[in-house]
Amino acid sequence: MKTLHRRKFLRDIGLSAAALPFVSGLPSLFGDTLSTGRKQRLVIMFTPNGTLPDLFWPDTTGSDFALKPILQPLEAFKQQMLVMNGVCNRVGGDGDNHMRGMSCLLTGARLNPGNIQGGSDTPAGWSSGISIDQQIKNHFQSNPETRTRFGSLEFGVAVPNRADPWTRMSYADSNKPVAPIDDPYQMLGKLYGQMKDKASVVSVLDDVSANLKKISSKLSTEDRAMLDQHLTLVREMEHDLENTSTTELAHPEPELDPEIELVNDNTPQISRMQIDLLVNSLANDMTRVATLQFMRSVGQARMRWLGIEDGHHGLSHEPDENESAHEKLQRINMWFANELAYLTRRLADTPEPGGDGTMLDNTLIVWVNELGKGNSHTLDNIPFVLLGGGAGFNMGRSLQFERTPHNRLWLAIAHAMGNNIDTFGMPKFCESGPLDLVS
Amino acid sequence: MGNFVSNSAPAETSSDNKRAHLPLLFGLERSMFHCDSVDPILSVLTVRIHIQFWPIVSSLSIAIVAVFHPASLHGEEEVAVQKQRGAAIYRSQCAQCHGASGEGVDGEYDKPLYGSRSVEKLADLIGRTMPEDEPELCVGDDAAAVSAYIYDAFYSPDARGNPPEILPARLTNRQYLESIADLIGTFTDYQPEGNSERQGKRRGRRDESVPDEIKNATEGLRADYFESNGMNKKDKRSLQRIDPSVDFDFGEGSPAENINAEQFSIAWSGSIVARETGVHEFRVRTPNGARLYVNADLKPGDSNYRDDSSAPSQTPLIDAWVSSGEMREETGRVLLLGGRRYLIRLDYFKYKEKVSSIRLEWKPPHGDWEVPARSDFVPTMVSRVAVVNAPFPADDRSLGYERGAAVSKEWFNAVTAAAIEVATEVDDRIDSLSRSRPDSEDRVEKLRTFASRFVSLTFRRPLTAGQQRAFVDTKFETAETPEQAVKRVVLFSLLSPEFLFPTLNDRESPDAFDIASRLAMELWDSLPDETLLNVAASGGLDDISGVREQIQRMTDDPRTRSKMLSFFHHWFEMDGERDLLKDDQVYPEFNPGVIADLRRSLNLSIEDIVWSENSDYRQLLLADSLFLNDRLVLLYGNADSGEPSEGFRRVTFAPAERSGVITHPYLLSAFAYHNNSSPIHRGVFLTRNIVGRPLKPPPVAIEFKDGEFDPSLTMREKVTQVTRDNACMSCHSIINPLGFSLEEFDAIGRLRKEDNSKPVDTTSDYTTDSGDKVTFTGARDVATHAANSPTAHQAFVNHLFHYIVKQPITAYGKQTPGQLRDQFEKNEFNIRDLLAEIVTVSAIEGTNLEIRARRSKYRQPKAHTASTHPENL
């Protein structure tokens, strides 16, 4: 884990209170979207190292199904959920299963040959294709109605500070990985930094004015001219920053606890901070596409906050018979499900800004994993779970597919978001078209 | 000749079509229309003129030349008419508030109407803002007429009979950038051989001493070659040496003995010297993995020995760490200030790819893609230099040199953005800048000390108790955290006039710290260093010898070299973007690489002369050699050019062939058409910049239409034909002979014997400014004339003064230009001595220090000195 020193200062002067009035003075911050249609959003959440099939997949299909323990934290959202068994990452090619599981997950395309060696198989490089989140981003950004300031935001939680096919799932293009930001303070800076900078300036402009007046009074008329101009400009900026119109953010900027160090043991707090920022950025329409990446493929997080000292990846290798490991993995995966539930709850509790219903009604959350099962490294039966009404799918069901390429899931989501592409990733896996999740 | 302001009339009244050509022509604007009314020695105007000239050069493909429009023969009358009209408008619309002669009216506008704007800027201001209640009443030609009238009637310094004054000034953009770099630089101290060595020891790796080859090297990059072992990309160091650059093709083989060809790793580190200020592009080309850091603030993770470390690290400028089975080329851009060193580090590894190769290239400003030379690198690392990226609006150049003449909203926004940028950088680096850690017991004290020192440096003097309280202590009392206090201190001080207006304090009573500030501004365009501040504090600048001692010390500094090089670029009109490209049918060899090499060649010539022992100005004009590299030898070399070799070498020519900078191919190409020489552009350049004579503006421009001439004519014949009119010849009798003297050089500056299949003719008669008639037979005659011409010497003195001091030279006494020129001659035209004299004159202005015999008698020194201001000491 990172050990960045604490950055208390990032919580600059009175954030929301001081910052709000001049938000609208910077309209470019928030894009120029005033769309009339419904805002569709896509959020993809990743957790690593496979699941425990026996504690994950419902025993029955259809709309009448019971949630197994790992999914139980999501019980409240069962009617807005699709559990999709039988969807497989069949891309193949260079790289070990973790690499392909991670970097082909959202792309459906093979890895380029390369110089990164896994624990087995051949070395490989970055993905050779764009990922679905970036595809939808490009689609939204190409239309003024759906364009937002950022287009997409990539959140991370405890992602190690290194760039390789195990740590990147989002790709702008072949060989163009998009790095997640796993420092909430850095993300806050990205979202609101400009405002905070201005706020910092406001905090000293008074002093600057006072000092200018003091000096100016001692000068001769001719020498004073330039200084007086300077003073005028300082005042103009004060005025601009303080008295712009009163449009407000739909949701105030979240206040982050300034004391959280970016260390492993603070992961639960960091996770919640990131989720709060994510929901906030969606609520303020800074973006309509977001990813949330927990750790990385082969991640060895030691979840001491769950009383587990072992590394996650190590545990995931243990045979099914190892009951202790099994029990720990259940707790780990339930913890992830809990974070997903928190995200879902936040969206469900937030009324759709300027629209009807809640934000969850207009958001599709996709929970993904790079493996189906940790100790077999299979890329089959990846635990895909969909939540929310953003795609217009027929929710509240448990579905069983027959070794279906996951490319078809991404096609279905692209189509649901209005992006009617014929193929996504490797064309041969798209021959049967998008999965039908509507009827 | 009377008042040449009159000639502005035709420009005003000519058709739009003609007017459109005017700025392309000699860059004329009305601000320059009174050349003749000014003492020719006072080449403020000369300077002003040539600066306007350069934009044309970039548009040389539009061939243009000046001729008189018949109507303009009456130009003076027309201007007189314009001024009469302006006077009438002034009486009816302006005099009510400003008084009949601009003296002001009580209760209306009570300040006298005078200032330092050019005629054009004044017209612009009037057009936009006057009369105050109804600005649309006086616009366009009316505003121009009023401006033309009041400028000479009472507005301009000349009209008032006053010498120009030292004007209040803000930092120029260059001064801002250099100041910030030095300000932050004061707090950094990088241990060369730092990170990787220490890290290696800590990790218990081999504790070998650095080989002498590396310890003693002054050029090239330090290279560490490692064997790899799977994921561990730097398993064991096998080789340490200096590489001249990074351009290797190992094929399927190994880079060194004992290294397995299948997997290995190399780290190159050191620093790279930026030749000129501007955006530098870097490019890495490899089928393997590579990361490039330039001007980074290295963190522990950047020097790791394992590629899977999660330690915090800098974002590389280029991250090409993961390969893709094919050759990749990735680029990154970074702004660097000229004359400074920047950390560079390139990490490279191969893992099982079939082949391995790596090349590092850069494209410096005004340059072309190239593998940097050994001499561009120094094998030791340096701390990050703080380079402000916020874009600034261009500085005022209406007087011919960049100066901080005015503040504008755009400028203030830029300064604010820059202050935020610096505050953010300070924030990011606060631990190392303040030498403390967040959990240090003395954290608050360390930060407070940092803050005080920071403000003191920005203000260029020790803080008074009041300043310490206002700028530092109150911030620490009110901020939530000491780090936030530091941020506010940085913002506050960088937005304060004490920093932004360096001349503010010294207008009335300059003290030792003002002298220090002037020295640093003039020699470095930057802040005083701590040595200089200490000298000032201890009385070391209280006598003239102390001042001179500091000038001597400071001149021997890369920042002075950088500023002097910028000066020469300014003098030779090499600053700004300029398109030297030629017709590639006629000059297929003249590609961007050659142009980049020529610029380096000219830079080398300049620096060779300026920083040689004699520093002889005349050598700039008379040297018979060029610096050429292999590529240039092919185009410009002679039988004595020597064997192919690395870098540039001095190649000597017959004296008749090359004569100093005026025959340097870079300038010859710059002042030429895209398919032939241009005696007019060359002639104008020589007249204004080298010989130092002011030129009147051509009142009307027409295009030089190459196709309309008899196709058998030479360029000289065409120019002669198109300028044969008597009216033209009042200037072209000067311009043409000078320009024709360079007809021996084609559009890319190669020697030629023929133009259009006829022998070139470089001989002309020329009348000097003192009325003597001389015959020039070629470039060397012109160079020799200039090298011995007091007019040329004076022009050079004035030009250097204005660039260095950024104030009008006569503001320092009417006799100052002549005195400096005399001294220049006495000192055998030593450029560095002249620089020192100029800086001395400016530094002690208004103090009671004197340079005997060179101070003008009528300017009484002011009484205040440093010693009378104990609170500042």
- Interface touch A204/B353, C-beta < 8 Å: no
Tokens 């660097």, residue located: B336
Q: Which amino acid is at B843?
A: A
Q: How confident is the model at residue A244 (pLDDT cuts 50, 70, 90)?
A: very low
Share of chain A above pLDDT 70, in %: 87
* pLDDT band at residue B111 using 50, 70 and 90 as cut-offs: confident
Per-domain boundaries in chain A? 39-183+262-430
Interatomic CA distance for residues A199 and A258, integer angstroms: 18
Question: Does ipTM surpass 0.95 in this model?
Answer: no
CB contact under 8 A, B492 and A220: no
Residues of B in contact with A172 (CB under 8 A): none
Q: How confident is the model at residue A243 (pLDDT cuts 50, 70, 90)?
A: low
User: What's the sign of the alpha-carbon dihedral B225, B229, B232, B237?
Assistant: negative
Out of B41-45, B523-527, B844-848, pick the least confident.
B41-45
Place of tokens 């009023």: B146
- Of the candidates B701, B695, B693, the one whose C-alpha atom is nearest the C-alpha of residue B731 is B695
Distances (CA, A) of B821 to B18, B40, B793: 40, 14, 7
Listed by number, the residues of chain A in 147-176 with a beta carbon closer than 8 Å to a beta carbon of chain B are 160-165, 174-175
Other Cβ atoms less than 10 A from the Cβ of B860: the count is 9
Give, as one character, the DSSP assignment of residue B745. B
Q: For residue B575, what pLDDT is reported?
A: 85
Lowest mean pLDDT among A204-213, B31-40, B297-306: B31-40
More confident residue, B54 or A260: A260
Name the CATH topology of B4-155: Cytochrome Bc1 Complex; Chain D, domain 2 (1.10.760)
Dihedral of CA atoms B492, B493, B496, B500 in degrees, nearest 10, equals -140
Is B280 or A214 the better-scoring residue by pLDDT? B280
When CB atoms are compared, the residue of B413, B437, B483 closest to A9 is B483
- With a cut of 60, say whether residue B557 has pLDDT above it: yes
Whether CATH 3.40.720.10 fits A39-183+262-430: yes
The pLDDT of residue A30 is 34
pLDDT attached to residue A250: 62
Please give the average per-residue pLDDT across A214-236, as a whole number.
81
Is pLDDT at B35 greater than 70 in this prediction?
no
Question: Which residue in chain A has the smallest CA separation from B507?
Answer: A223
Distance CA B192, CA B205 (A): 19
Among the four given CATH numbers 1.10.260.40, 1.10.3720.10, 3.40.1440.10, 2.60.120.1560, the one describing domain B195-378: 2.60.120.1560
Mean pLDDT of A49-68: 96
By mean pLDDT, which of A28-42, B546-560, B827-841 is the weakest? A28-42
Please confirm whether the linkage preceding B759 is cis (ω < 30° from 0). no
Q: Say if residue B484 is exposed, middle or buried (CB neighbours under 10 Å; 0-12, 13-18, 19+).
A: buried
Tell whether the model's pLDDT for residue B340 goes beyond 60. Answer: yes
Q: How does residue A258 score in pLDDT terms, banded at 50, 70 and 90? A: low
CA-CA distances (angstroms) from residue B268 to B260, B354, B445, B647? 19, 22, 39, 21
CA–CA gap between residue A393 and residue A395 (Å, rounded)? 6
Of A359 and A186, the one with more pLDDT: A359
Can you read off the two tokens belonging to residue A284? 């303020």
CB pairs A-B closer than 8 Å: 145
Output the DSSP codes for B810-830.
Answer: GGG-TTHHHHHHHHHHHTTTB
The residues pairing with B759 across neighbouring beta strands, listed in sequence order, are: B754
pLDDT value for A118: 83
| CA B704/CA B722 separation, integer angstroms | 8
Q: What is the pLDDT of residues B761-779, one digit of tens each?
A: 999 999 988 888 999 999 9
**Closest listed residue to residue A249, CA positions, set A4, A62, A404, A29:** A29
Q: Residue A4's pLDDT is what?
A: 29
- pLDDT score of B610 more than 60: yes
What integer is the mean pLDDT of A252-278?
Answer: 83
> In the predicted model, is pLDDT for residue A246 greater than 80?
no
Section B318-347 average pLDDT = 94
Q: What confidence tens digit (pLDDT) does each residue in B667-692 have?
A: 999 999 999 999 999 999 999 999 99
Contact status, residue B105 vs residue B96, Cβ threshold 8 Å: yes
Question: Do residues A23 and A247 make contact, with C-beta atoms less than 8 angstroms apart?
Answer: yes
The answer to whether A233 contacts B309, with C-beta atoms less than 8 Å apart, is no
Report which of residues A92 and B237 the model is more confident about.
A92
Q: What angle do CA A86, A436, A89 make, to 5 degrees?
A: 35
- The answer to whether B49 touches B35, Cβ cutoff 8 Å, is yes
| CA–CA separation, A167 and A176 (whole Å) | 13
Chain A: give the shortest CA distance to residue B222, in Å: 25
Contacts with B421 from chain A: Cβ below 8 Å? none
Residue A168: is its pLDDT beyond 90?
Answer: yes
**Do B292 and B318 contact (CB within 8 A), yes or no?**
yes
For the stretch B709-718, pLDDT in tens is: 888 999 999 9
Per-residue model confidence (pLDDT) at position B525: 97
B355–A contact, CB cutoff 8 A: no
**How is chain B split into domains, by residue range?**
4-155, 173-185+390-502, 195-378, 582-787
Task: Give the residue with greater pLDDT, A78 vs B216.
Answer: A78
Give the global pTM: 0.80
Task: Determine the residue among A2, A115, A229 to mutate to test chain B binding: the one whose Cβ has the most chain B Cβ atoms within 10 Å.
Answer: A115
More confident residue, B262 or B200: B262
Cα separation, A398 vs A60, whole angstroms: 7
For position A193, what pLDDT does the model report? Answer: 78
CA angle A246, A252, A255 (to 5 degrees): 140
If contacts are CB pairs under 8 Å, which of residues 407-436 in chain B contact chain A?
407-409, 412-413, 416, 419-420, 423-424, 427, 431
In a mutational test of the A interface, the residue from B315, B318, B322, B351 whose CB has the highest number of chain A CBs within 10 Å is B322
Mean pLDDT of chain B: 83
Give the model's pLDDT for residue A421: 97
pLDDT at A249: 61
For β-strands A363-368 and B318-320, DSSP reports them as unpaired
Rounded percentage of chain B residues whose pLDDT exceeds 90:
59
Q: How far is A179 from A161, CA to CA, in rounded Å? A: 10
Confidence of residue B112 (pLDDT cuts 50, 70, 90): confident
The token pair that represents B824 in the structure block:
């220049």
Length of chain B equals 873
Q: Pairing between strand B64-66 and B701-703?
A: antiparallel
Q: How far apart are the first and last CA of chain B?
A: 55
Contacts of B351 (CB under 8 A, 6+ apart): A115, A116, A117, A123, B228, B233, B262, B263, B288, B289, B323
Q: Are strands A41-46 and A363-368 parallel, antiparallel or unpaired?
A: parallel
- Taking 50 as the threshold, does the pLDDT of residue B276 lie above it? yes
Closest CA relative to residue B456, chosen from B533, B373, B525, B368: B533
Mutate to test the interface with B, among A205, A226, A255 (most CBs of B within 10 A): A226
Judged by average pLDDT, the poorest of A115-119, B27-31, B155-159, B727-731 is B27-31
Question: Which residue carries 């894009």 as its tokens?
Answer: A31
Best of A230, A232, A297, A300 to disrupt the B interface (most B CBs within 10 Å) is A230
